[in-house]
Chains A and B, each alone.
Chain A
Amino acid sequence: GENVEQHPSTLSVQEGDSAVIKCTYSDSASNYFPWYKQELGKGPQLIIDIRSNVGEKKDQRIAVTLNKTAKHFSLHITETQPEDSAVYFCAATPGAGTYKYIFGTGTRLKVLA
């Protein structure tokens, strides 16, 4: 079955710097890759997603890139702010049954003021 690996597990950056989180997946049939932000005590919130027919997507300070050949995708946050501090999860959905998200193990991002 699908397996998603996420790195790094923790990441500290200075306010204003960029942060990059990387994920790899194993199932070449996966076609939808969402990123979720989870703040302490809250549920995951979708921040950006990408489908397999697109290589890059950007939304203000957040961007996601997808390399289907290498089976990896990355989250890029530019001009980080303290409110970006949270746990970020990547996920992939297998081709069959797109509701069954396979999540990475999360990256705890700390933005230092």
Chain B
Amino acid sequence: NAGVMQNPRHLVRRRGQEARLRCSPMKGHSHVYWYRQLPEEGLKFMVYLQKENIIDESGMPKERFSAEFPKEGPSILRIQQVVRGDSAAYFCASSPKGSGELFFGEGSRLTVL
């Protein structure tokens, strides 16, 4: 019974490039969340999605960041024109319903050179 799968685990980008992070939720889970963890800090909520719907994106920066969870395939967090401040670990979590326990993936660590 696979858990939340994220890829890539590590991603290096130069300033101005695009980063795409993918997340497949646990089997049977239709709610996906993205959190960002800066070095030595706690996780900060970014966005909550269900299939084909963004439910809450109040934690997402207004520019350059977008997220989707299509009918088929994984959820994708896209960061356009990356800057050094985007360097962080990005964690995806899923749940069977929109409340209660979240199950986290192992994260995607983005480094912007």
Contacts and interface: CB of A to CB of B under 8 A. Distances in A.
A101 to B, nearest CB: 7
A98 B99 contact: yes
Q: How large is the interface on B (under 10, 10 to 19, 20 to 34, 35 or more residues)?
A: 20 to 34
B56 A100 contact: yes
Nearest to A9: B40
23 contacts: A4-B42, A32-B100, A34-B102, A36-B104, A43-B6, A43-B106, A43-B107, A44-B91, A46-B101, A46-B103, A89-B42, A97-B56, A99-B48, A99-B95, A99-B99, A99-B102, A100-B59, A101-B35, A101-B102, A103-B42, A105-B41, A106-B40, A106-B41
Interface string B27-49: 00001010100001111110010
Interface of B: 4, 6, 31, 33, 35, 40-45, 48, 56, 58-59, 91, 95, 98-107
Given A89-B42, A101-B45, A103-B42, A43 B56 contact: no
Contacts of A97: 56
Q: How large is the interface on A (under 10, 10 to 19, 20 to 34, 35 or more residues)?
A: 20 to 34
A44 B95 contact: no
